[in-house]
């Protein structure tokens, strides 16, 4: 196994990506899924409770939307804890790999990272929550309409929602976890590289298979300075998974890309 973010040759980069992908699947993503699952279960419980209190289907839909909004603090906590869990593990890994070839790097990365993290979380959370809420509204509205079409009474609506909505949310759970894992990994890797104080360049690294976006595959190997964004299909990103500069879902959701560094 080759695990070093300073991989140079194409062979080393492929080996690095493969080993990192194993680490991501076995460790990082599991941490994210556990956090996301709790937030989703909390939201489902709130929606079901809201439907129980409704006297009409229109009231149930209004109540459910309010319940979704009331769960935003749970989502905020899940996102922050995901960044803390994955960020510290991944950031320290990147530092170890850079330090293996470059001595004299500081030892208080954890303190620096955790001090900067709340500001970053605040920046990324609002647009994430807006998108999550819109999608949740659509799911609930569709399920309530389906309940009506199936002849479900208002008294049985909560049980109907409890039965059908988890299956709809299950696909979201994995997609959200993968997306948040990519961004947390990308952000923490960048922060670790910057923490070293070394002059570096960064290079986009994609895994080339039939699941990889065309734009990401074509961008594979592109190199830029640390303070310059990657530009893919018109979207700017400082690292793979970066949502802070307004990149769209087409470049973010389920992304598996990472980046490598070169000390100048």
| pLDDT tops 60 at residue 221 | yes
Q: How many residues does the chain have?
A: 264
> Which 8-state DSSP code applies to residue 1?
-
- Of the two residues 102 and 57, the one the predictor is more confident about is 57
Q: Could you give the CA distance from residue 179 to residue 138 in angstroms, rounded to a whole number?
A: 20
Tell me how far CA of residue 226 lies from CA of 7, 192, 204, in angstroms: 16, 12, 12
E strand or H helix that includes residue 261:
strand 258-263
Per-residue pLDDT reduced to its tens digit, 13-69: 888 998 998 999 889 999 999 999 999 999 999 999 999 999 999 999 999 999 999
What is the pLDDT, as a whole number, of residue 102? 76
Query: Is 262 in contact with 188 (CB distance < 8 Å)?
Result: no
Written as six digits, the tokens of 188 are 């923490």
Q: Which of 54-68, 160-174, 186-200 has the lowest mean pLDDT?
A: 160-174
Share of the chain above pLDDT 90, in %: 80
Band of residue 1 on the pLDDT scale cut at 50, 70, 90: very low
Judge residue 253's burial from the number of C-beta atoms within 10 Å of its C-beta, 0-12 exposed, 13-18 middle, 19 or more buried: middle
Spans of all domains in the chain: 10-197
What pLDDT was estimated at residue 67?
Answer: 97
Taking the model in full, what pTM does it have?
0.91
Q: How far is CA 86 from CA 41, 70, 93, in A?
A: 21, 26, 11
What tokens appear for 179 in the block? 């997306």
Residue pLDDT, tens place only, 111-140: 999 999 999 999 999 999 999 999 999 999
Question: Do the beta carbons of residue 73 and residue 55 sit within 8 Å?
Answer: no
In this predicted structure, the answer to whether residue 217 has a pLDDT above a threshold of 80 is yes
pLDDT at 88: 95
DSSP state of 154: G
Query: Residues near 43 by Cβ (< 8 Å), separated by ≥ 6?
Result: 67, 68, 71, 74, 75, 136, 169
Q: Please, which pLDDT band fits residue 3 given cuts at 50, 70 and 90?
A: low
Q: What is the mean pLDDT of residues 163-184?
A: 91
Structure tokens at 151: 């002849």
Residues 87-113, mean pLDDT to the nearest whole number: 87
Q: Judge whether residue 211 has pLDDT over 70.
A: yes
């Amino acid at each position: 196994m080759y695990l070093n973010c300073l991989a140079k040759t194409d062979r080393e980069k492929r080996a690095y990506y493969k080993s990192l992908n194993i680490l991501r699947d076995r460790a990082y993503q599991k941490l994210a899924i556990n956090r996301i699952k709790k937030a989703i279960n909390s939201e489902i419980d709130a929606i079901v409770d809201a439907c129980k209190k409704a006297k009409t289907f229109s009231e149930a839909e209004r109540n459910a939307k309010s319940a979704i909004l009331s769960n935003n603090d749970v989502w905020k906590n899940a996102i922050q804890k995901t960044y803390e869990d994955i960020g510290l593990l991944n950031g320290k890994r990147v530092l170890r790999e850079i330090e293996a070839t470059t001595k004299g790097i500081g030892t208080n990365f954890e303190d620096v990272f955790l001090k900067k993290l709340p500001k970053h979380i605040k920046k990324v959370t609002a647009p994430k929550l807006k998108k999550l809420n819109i999608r949740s509204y659509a799911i609930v509205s569709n399920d309530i309409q389906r309940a009506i079409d199936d002849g479900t009474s208002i008294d049985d609506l909560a049980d109907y929602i409890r039965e059908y909505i988890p299956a709809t949310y299950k696909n979201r759970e994995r997609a959200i976890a993968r997306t948040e894992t990519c961004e947390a990994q990308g952000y923490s890797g960048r922060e670790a590289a910057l923490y070293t104080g070394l002059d570096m360049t960064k290079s986009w690294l994609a895994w080339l298979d039939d699941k990889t976006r065309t734009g990401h595959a074509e961008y594979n190997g592109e190199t830029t300075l640390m303070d310059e964004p990657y530009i893919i299909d018109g979207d700017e990103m400082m690292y793979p998974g970066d949502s802070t500069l307004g990149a769209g879902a087409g470049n973010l959701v389920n992304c598996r890309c990472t980046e490598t560094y070169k000390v100048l």
